Structure 1
Amino acid sequence: MSLYRHILLALDFSEQARALAEKALMLSRQHGARLSVVHVLDNIAMPDTSYGTSIALTERRENPELETEKANFKQLVDEFKLDQENAWLVWGNPKQEIVALADKLKADLIVVGSHGRHGLQVLLGSTANAVLHHANCDVVAVRIRDA
């Protein structure tokens, strides 16, 4: 029996996203686990929708910022040969949405990147720290070195 059956990878579009995705893929292969990936849209306005905060990669919108975000996310999903049905693009607060999606998917493990900041930056809050303290499953925070 594998320790993990479903891994949720939380990605942004930083330069280190690909290295983070490679580590999550390695973990999913080692455990024979399904890999889902999420990108949280927290930097563009959310339209008034009746269907919630999630948006399909195939859905077209008249919002250039959204279309750019979708294209970037789809490129990562395609590059790592992930199933689009396991790729989630959601609006909201990354700290809350990552944990909520992990619960919804019944993920055993969340993989997030951590910049390892100290002092005032930690007090202001980091996504990895919040996910670690609020998730109902294991969390792996992969150290990301700023260039």
Structure 2
Amino acid sequence: MGGTYKDVLVAIDGSEESRCVLSRAAAIVDGSGGRLHLLHVIEPLALAYGADVPMDVTDLQASLMQQARENIDLYAGEFRVPPTQVHVELGSIEKTIQDKADMLGADLIVIGSHTRTGLALLLGSTARGVVPGAHCDVLAVKIPRS
């Protein structure tokens, strides 16, 4: 491997930290001709809250996907990532990141890493969860505590 990454998959969760993670990834491909791919994974509500969700969540899930797409498109615009390299997927976070990386032939996965828990599921534990199953390098960008 010649020291540069060709296809970099950046997993972001749409929070403020996403910009920090993205700018690190952009710096890696800058000038090397590499491609950035953005991925926002939404966990199915049934997965997050147990199988017995008391209502039909199809519409809610669709609107979450739509919101995520609009959010990630803003970052894509800011970092000049073409729409064909922007992905919003439904699934378990770690597995979806690994599968998407394999599908794209990514040679680097970039994710954020901090110690906050709660809604920012993508960051923190995900960094630990992605590494074992990944078939390429993984960069966990340390998010400074605000």
TM range (shorter): 0.7 to 0.9
Q: Which ranges of structure 2 fall in alignment gaps of 5 or more residues?
A: 48-60, 117-123
Aligned partner of 2:137 in structure 1 is 138
Aligned mates of 2:77, 2:44 — CA distance in 1: 23
Aligned partner of 1:90 in structure 2 is 89
Aligned partner of 1:29 in structure 2 is 30
| Identity over aligned pairs, percent | 34
Question: By how many angstroms is 1:41 displaced?
Answer: 1.1
Q: Which ranges of structure 1 fall in alignment gaps of 5 or more residues?
A: 47-61, 118-124
Aligned partner of 2:69 in structure 1 is 70
- Whether the 8 Å contact between 2:44 and 2:92 is mirrored in structure 1 is no
Task: Pick closer, same or farther for the CA change 1:143–1:64 going to 2, 3 Å.
Answer: same
Task: Pick closer, same or farther for the CA change 1:27–1:70 going to 2, 3 Å.
Answer: same
CA-to-partner distance for each residue in 1:87-106, whole Å, 9 max, x for gaps?
11100111000000000111
Question: By how many angstroms is 1:130 displaced?
Answer: 1.0
- Whether the 8 Å contact between 2:113 and 2:143 is mirrored in structure 1 is yes
Equivalent position amino acid for 1:78 in 2: G
Aligned mates of 2:35, 2:114 — CA distance in 1: 26
CA root-mean-square deviation: 2.4
Aligned mates of 2:66, 2:45 — CA distance in 1: 11
**Which has the larger displacement, 62-71 or 2-11?**
62-71
SS in 2 for 1:31: coil
Runs (4+) off by over 6 Å? none
Equivalent position amino acid for 2:89 in 1: V
Question: By how many angstroms is 1:45 displaced?
Answer: 6.6
Task: Pick closer, same or farther for the CA change 1:109–1:63 going to 2, 3 Å.
Answer: closer
Question: By how many angstroms is 1:65 displaced?
Answer: 3.0
Task: Pick closer, same or farther for the CA change 1:106–1:68 going to 2, 3 Å.
Answer: same
Question: By how many angstroms is 1:69 displaced?
Answer: 1.8
Equivalent position amino acid for 1:10 in 2: A
TM-score (norm 2): 0.76
Aligned mates of 2:62, 2:135 — CA distance in 1: 34
TM-score (norm 1): 0.76
Task: Pick closer, same or farther for the CA change 1:91–1:19 going to 2, 3 Å.
Answer: same
Equivalent position amino acid for 1:21 in 2: L
Equivalent position amino acid for 1:110 in 2: I
Aligned partner of 1:3 in structure 2 is 4
